Structure 1
Amino acid sequence: MKKGQLGFLAGTHMVNDLYQGAIPAMLPFLMSQRHYSYAAVSGLAFAASGISSLFQPLFGALADRRPRSWLVPTGFGTAALGVMAAGLSGNYVVTWWCVALAGVGIAAFHPPATSQARAAGGSSQKAMSVFSVGGTLGGALAPTLVTLVIGAAGFAGSYLLAIPALVMAILWFLKGPWMRSRGHTAAAPLVTVSTKAGTGATGRADDWRSFARLVAVIVGWSIPYVTVTSMVSLHAQRDLDQSTAAGAAVLSTYTAAGAVGTLLGGWVGDRYGRMTSVRVGYLVALPALFGIAWAPAFPVLVLSATVFGMAMFLPFAAQVTLAQDYLPNRPGTASGLSLGLAMAAGGLCSPAFGRLADTSGLPAVFYALLAVFVVPVVMAIRLPERTRKVPDAPSPALVEAAHPHEAR
């Protein structure tokens, strides 16, 4: 395990997902200051999650052809630019396109960064959870940062939101010379080389059937996750008469609990098997989602959102590594499809849940999510395990084929 590289990649993940979390954190301000409806802000959630997720498989396929590490800084830089421009824009259509641009940047980041993190962390679930928790922490910090900036300076101060990406971009470009001066080399993801039909350099066939089942589970995971992320702050303010700061606080608590759940899931996966973290996470998340829908008072909402956030991210690292083990010869594609196309369902469904909120209120939305979530819970507990095979030392011919310049 290359801990330094893994930690640095977790840092880039934190910055990238800071902008992913900034978009739902901006929605209450957009409703109060620009008077957007639930349907309008749900359309922005679709632009962020749905459009973004549709692009991730494309970036995953590109990452499988050969390592494209430049997509990492380009991704979080584009995400920062989109969020900043969305805040400075006063027109809804322009804001929608800026949010979509941020989503494309977020999509570009995930497949290559996830593949690099898997290479740096080896087969450890804990290593992948460290990388994943970087993103979760970024999402947890986003509401506080957005509240401080927009609450103090209004949308005119949105340019301040780009500072974390600027700092991380500088660190990224300094990273290579720093590593070389200390004799370190990057943990390069495996570039697959075809050996026989259905297999690659790993010597194992891709299990598309099990992978499709996993994608279906993640689709069912993404719908309540994206919707709760977009609506829980508004729920606290509109239905429980809380302040904007209290709404931001419950969103931060919810996402911070996800960070705890991600780390806990990595530990459970290494100690008891990753399917344990998957099954426990889904079974605990179901009643917690009921608590969000039923919550008669703010403390109940905070407690339910905390448990829900932790439970939803308990299986997160396991799902990423399981996807890559179902498709061992296409790790970038596995990351792009599992983190991208599957997540698109949450964004694609956001406008429908926004209309439901406009007509029937937010509690009706959460009860509808509860009914939807039963399906992935049942499917998750029936997913098959697939143990990752650690390959033997590659032959000189394979090294030459995968890394011709390094072999020479």
Structure 2
Amino acid sequence: MRRNRSIALLSVGHACVDVYQGAVAALVPFFVAERAYTYALASGIVLAVSVLSSVAQPVFGLLTDRRPLPWLLPVSTLLGGAGIALSGLSDSYGVTLACAATAGLGVAAYHPESARVARLASRGSHSAMSVFSTGGNIGFALAPLMVAAVVAPGGLRWTPLLGLPALVGAALCLPATRAVTRQQATGAGMARSTGPDDVTSFVRLSLAVVCRSVAFVGLSTFISLYARQRTGGGTASGTTALTVLYLGGAVGSVLGGSLAGRWNRVRVCRWAYAVAAAGVAAVVWVPGPGLYPAVALTSAGLYVPFSLQVTLGQDYLPSRIGTASGITLGLTVSVGGLAAPVIGTLADATSLRTALAPLALMPLLSALAFRGLPEPAVPGSRGGAPGPAAGDGGRGPAVPADADRTR
């Protein structure tokens, strides 16, 4: 019960943080409409968040590997909220970029430590980690609805109201981190590393994460504008498409944890990316209202591997849980922003449809990266049997690998 309570609190807190990742893309159409930004300028805001987040998350991962930093959870939540809250108050493009970068820094600081804490609280359970990941996905899904409800009626000057979820998230972090700190002190549910780091497999996993991120961030940045063009609708059609893209993640993450209880994680991720490739192709070429089912299929395919990649990364690098978490959990939703200006520039020169078409290749590259990856062995098994087996209750193949130690 205590574990479930901690995971529930961390999941809601994760939602409150990832609202601000989703809010960046959700604000793009309003920046375009109210400030006449080009596609390239609008995508530059996404780039500012992504560059800072991509660089900072591995750094914070290294720091949390050296010593636990539970205070980062509430502080980073407040920092992410402050950046988005202030982003609409100045007409200066530079100030807007700085505010977006501040939000990116907050999100970057949150993910490595939160994934470490969640792994301790979950005691290695795939299903519990999928619940934690689902919290973030729900935050993504709520972001366009929240932004539309606040900004559409009164304009960008109302963005300070978007800071409210950060206050809730920061408050919820405190009891969860206290509970896990007590668990660390008693050593409850802890286990030693099951083997050496598998750096080669982790690098291949990271390449899959990067390709997945390019597809996801590219779509999330421009899907609202693309849906308006393809369906002939207004703001509501764009918000609906972005919400479907994010909300499908809640289903995909839960489904991923469930499927990992029947087949191993590597196989499930490979299948999911094949589905995602077909979904992205359908988003680009299926006409009219068929866009929305295509977006839902894409979202599920991209999100099934989400929590599974986190636990795989932690199992490939059992001595560097924070670093593994910062890369697999954080870069999944940030590094793709580096490609956003390229997509935006191409869209300005040609069309959004032409610019989005290459994204269909990204999930295929992720699937190829997963071919031949090993499934980490179940602790205590003879001969390193791959896990998890059917009926194991969603338990992962590795329990927390002494992730709380200090160096």
Does TM, scored on the shorter chain, surpass 0.5?
yes
Could you tell me how far 1:342 is from its partner in structure 2?
Answer: 6.2
2:377 partner SS: coil
Q: Which moved more, 1:251-260 or 1:364-373?
A: 364-373
**1:71-90 to 2 correspondence within 5 Å?**
71-90=72-91
Which residue of structure 1 lines up, in the alignment, with residue 283 of structure 2?
292
Contact 2:270–2:366 under 8 Å retained in 1:
no
One-letter code of the match for 1:271?
R
Task: Look up the match of 2:365.
Answer: 375
1:328 match: secondary structure? coil
Deviation at 1:113, TM superposition (A): 0.3
Residues 336-388 of structure 1, C-alpha deviations (whole Å, 9 max, x = no match): 12234565541111111110111111111221112344322222233221125
Give % identity: 37
Distance 1:284 1:332 in 2: 30
* 1:106 pairs with 2:107: yes
Provide the C-alpha distance between the structure 2 equivalents of 1:106 and 1:204, rounded to a whole number of angstroms. 31
Aligned to 1:332: 322
TM normalised by structure 2 equals 0.88
Task: Please point out which of 273, 276, 283 is paired with 2:267.
Answer: 276
Q: Distance in 2 between matches of 1:133 and 1:187?
A: 23
Cα distance, 1:176–1:280 mapped onto 2, change above 3 Å: closer
Q: In structure 2, the residue corresponding to 1:2 is in which secondary structure?
A: helix
Q: Which residue of 2 aligns with 1:351?
A: 341
Offset from partner CA, 1:56-102 (integer Å, 9 cap, x none): 00000111111100111111110100001112121111101110110
Counterpart for residue 21 of structure 1: 22
Gapped regions of structure 1 (runs ≥ 5): 192-199, 392-398
Q: Which moved more, 1:155-164 or 1:108-117?
A: 155-164
Aligned-partner SS, 1:87: coil
Aligned 8 A contact 1:201 1:329 in 2 = no
How far off is 1:231 after superposition?
0.8
2:148 maps to a residue whose letter is T
1:307 is the counterpart of 2:308: no
Structure 2 residue 23 is matched with structure 1 residue 33: no
| Aligned residue identity for 1:386 | P
| 2:196 alignment partner in structure 1 | 205
Out of 224, 232, 256, which is 2:215 matched to? 224
Q: Does 1:91 align with 2:81?
A: no
Q: CA deviation at 1:321?
A: 0.2
Check if 1:117 corresponds to 2:118: yes
Tell me if structure 1 keeps the 8 A contact 2:32–2:38.
yes
Secondary structure of the 1:288 match is: helix
Q: Deviations over 1:199-249 (max 9, x none)?
A: x95252111011011011111111011100111111011343211111101
RMSD over aligned Cα, in angstroms?
2.4
* Gap regions ≥5 residues in structure 2: 382-401
Q: Aligned residues, how many?
A: 382
TM, length-normalised to structure 1:
0.88
Look up the equivalent residue of 2:368 and give its one-letter code. Answer: V
Once the two structures are overlaid, the 10-residue window that deviates more, 267-276 or 141-150, is 267-276
CA distance in 2, matches of 1:325, 1:64: 14
Residue in structure 2 matched with residue 197 of structure 1 by the alignment: none
Match of 2:11 in 1: 10
Contact 2:209 2:331 in 1 (8 A): no
Q: Could you tell me which of 376, 384, 387 is aligned with 2:377?
A: 387
Distance 1:262 1:141 in 2: 16
